[in-house]
Structure formats: structure tokens, C-alpha cells
Amino acid sequence: MILPFLIIKESFSVSNTSDIYQKFNETYAIYNNSKLRFNIKYPLFWEILEIETINQVIFCPLQNNNETSNYCFQIQLYPNLNRTLYEWVKGDMIYFKNFQIYDTYQLSNSIINGYPSYTLITSKDNMKYLYIYFYQNDVIYIISFDAETDIFTNYLPLIYQMVNSLRIQKN
């Protein structure tokens, strides 16, 4: 199961999605994690937090005062546990609904870098949450992003650009 997102400090707003793309294309770095066996491009102005005990990496934009914002992009890995990808997603949705974590749910099939996946978009109050689930090398990958609705909408193209840059290393 995934737990609600880690909230860190306060946020800032980005007014123009094309500004995000320009910064991403001109100033990005590649994060490589040999233990978790993946790499991904991310904007240089984002901070990285690795939580090895739960196989999670969190990327958060920095504000002008170099403090971390309260919206983050996360990648977390879980052992497969002999469940199908759909069973994993369905289990999370049941958990979310039973505990009334979100008000709305939108689930769709998708392809992430050639991997069959599920995309779940949820919301509650003024927040939106994106979860992307896929399976590779006997591992379930859950990519997530959460933000206030207007920030979520502005950042979604950048988030998908980051997701599309994700590369999983073979066993």
C-alpha cells in the first residue's frame, strides 16, 4: 500500500508551463540509482531525498529561498509479491476508498516507456494526485505526484516528461 504523500514546507506557483519546459530542457540532470536500478532526468532546481529503507526517491522543486516546496514527484519500488499489476492498483484503490482518502478517482490503462501501466488521478479538496503503476524486473514501480490543482495542471507536462525519461536497468 502507498501512504499519503509527504508534505514539506510551503509551495510557490509557476505561471507558465512553457517556462517549465524551457528550464527542464536547458538545465536538467540525470539521477542514477544503482541500488534501485533506474535513472531519470530531473530539473536542476529540484532537491532529491532518498529513503533507502522503503525504496523511495522524492524530487521536489526548490523555492526562491532554497526551501523545498510542498509538492513532490516520487518513485517507490515494491517487490511483486505474486500479485498482478491490476491487483496491486485495485488494492490501493480499495484502501483509498475505505479510508476516504480522496473524493474522486480516474483510472486508465497507459504505456510508460513501453511498459503496460495504470494511471490513477485522484483529488480531494484543492489537491490532485497522480499515481502511475507499472511492473518490470519483478518489481512494482509507483510514480506519484501531488500538488494543489492549479500547480498540478501547470506541472503535469513536466511530470510526464520526467516519467518518459525514466530508464530501468535490466537485472
How does 109-131 read in b/e, with b if 16+ C-beta sit within 10 Å? Answer: eeebeebebbbbbbbeeebbbbb
Secondary structure of residue 143 in the 3-state scheme: strand
Instruction: Give 17-168's CATH code, choosing from 3.40.1000.10, 3.30.300.90, 3.10.129.10, 1.10.10.10.
Output: 3.40.1000.10
Quote the cell numbers at residue 2. Answer: 502507498
Tell me how far CA of residue 119 lies from CA of 29, 44, 67, in angstroms: 25, 26, 30
pTM score, whole prediction? 0.81
- Dist CA 38 CA 167 (whole Å): 5
Quick check: helix, strand or coil at residue 82?
coil
Q: How would you write the pLDDT of the chain (171 residues) with one tens digit per residue?
A: 333 333 222 222 333 444 444 455 567 899 999 999 999 999 988 889 999 999 999 999 887 766 667 789 999 999 988 889 999 999 999 999 998 989 999 999 999 888 899 999 999 999 999 999 999 988 999 999 999 998 999 999 999 999 999 999 987
Which residues is 74 bridged to in the sheet?
58, 144
For residues 146 and 128, the answer to whether their CB atoms sit within 8 Å is yes
Can you tell me the distance from the alpha carbon of 89 to that of 140, in angstroms, rounded to the nearest whole number? 10
